[in-house]
Structure formats: C-alpha cells, structure tokens
Amino acid sequence: MTKENMMRMINETSSWREITAGGFVYGEGNSEFFNTGDWRVRTPVWDESKCKQCLLCYPVCPDSSIPAKNGKRLDFDFDHCKGCAICARVCPFGAIAVVAAGEEDAQ
C-alpha cells in the first residue's frame, strides 16, 4: 500500500474492517496527504519585492510549508500552511503580511 493509498483508504469513513491491526500506520511521511491548509483562519502573504531571501522564515515553519529551491524560498504551500504566522514574526524585512483567510486578494 502506498502512503497516498493508505491515507485515502483509512479515514473517518472507514469501517473497522479496513483499519489496520493495532492501528499501525504504514509508510512514513504521510502527513503530506493530510491537507491541514483548510484549518487556516489567517493567511501569510509573501511580498517578494521586500524579501531579501535571508531564509530566516524557512526553518521556523512548523509545517514545512515554505518550500525552498536553489537557496531561495518560493511561495507558501497553502495545502498545509495552518496560518500560525511565525514566519511573519521572524521576517526582519516586513515581507510577510498576515491577513484574515479569504482576504488575501485585498492585499
């Protein structure tokens, strides 16, 4: 069973027959398939023009929702970002604003 399949197969609609013995969870890192982004009531908004790519925000994200590539951060992974706003707190350049979820566009 792949990680993705396991997440799809065993969920809150699964019957007891489908639950693994002892509730064993097979496959590491399956939280990737659990979209916690919809828990978000506040949303960080990244202003790329103010960002100096210091990457202070990257390691503090508890949900690994700031992807980085070739030493540069990309926009948030909103499938998993819970909106905790720690990134905004550590940003020395005011490059991350926090707005109520759903008002991202107003920025």
Partner 1 sequence: MSRKDRMSGNQAIAVAIRQINPDVIAAFPITPSTEIPQYVSAFKADGLIDTEFIAVESEHSAMSACIGASAAGVRAMTATSSAGMALMYELLYVAASDRLPIVMAAVNRALTGPININADHSDSMGAKDSGWIQIYSENAQEAYDNMLMAHRIAEHPDVLLPVMICQDGFITSHAIENIVIEDDESARAFTGEYNPAKHLLNPKESLGVGPYSVSAFYMEMKRSQFEAMNNARKVIRDVSEDFAKRMGRSYGMFEAYRMEDAETAVLLMGSSAGTGKDAVDALREKGVKAGLVKLRVFRPFPAEELATVFRGVKALGIMDKCDGFSGNGGPLGAEVRAALYGKSDGIKTCNYIFGLGGRDIKVEDFRVIFGELKDGIDGKPLPDCRYIGVRG
The contact set with partner 1 (CB under 8 A) reads 12, 14-17, 19-28
Nearer to partner 1, 31 or 53 (CB): 31
CB of 13 to partner 1, least distance (A): 9
* Residue 58: its H or E element: helix 57-60
Q: Which is nearer to partner 1, 6 or 99 (by Cβ)?
A: 6
Q: Which is nearer to partner 1, 59 or 62 (CB)?
A: 62
| Contact between 7 and 36 (Cβ < 8 Å) | no
| Residue 42 near residue 100 (C-beta atoms within 8 A) | yes
**Shortest distance, CB of residue 25 to partner 1, whole angstroms?**
3
Helix (H) or strand (E) holding 46: strand 42-46
- Residue 59: CB atoms within 10 Å: 10
Shortest approach of partner 1 to residue 86 CB, angstroms? 24
Query: Token pair for residue 94?
Result: 């005011």
- In the complex with partner 1, which residue's Cβ is closer, 21 or 106? 21
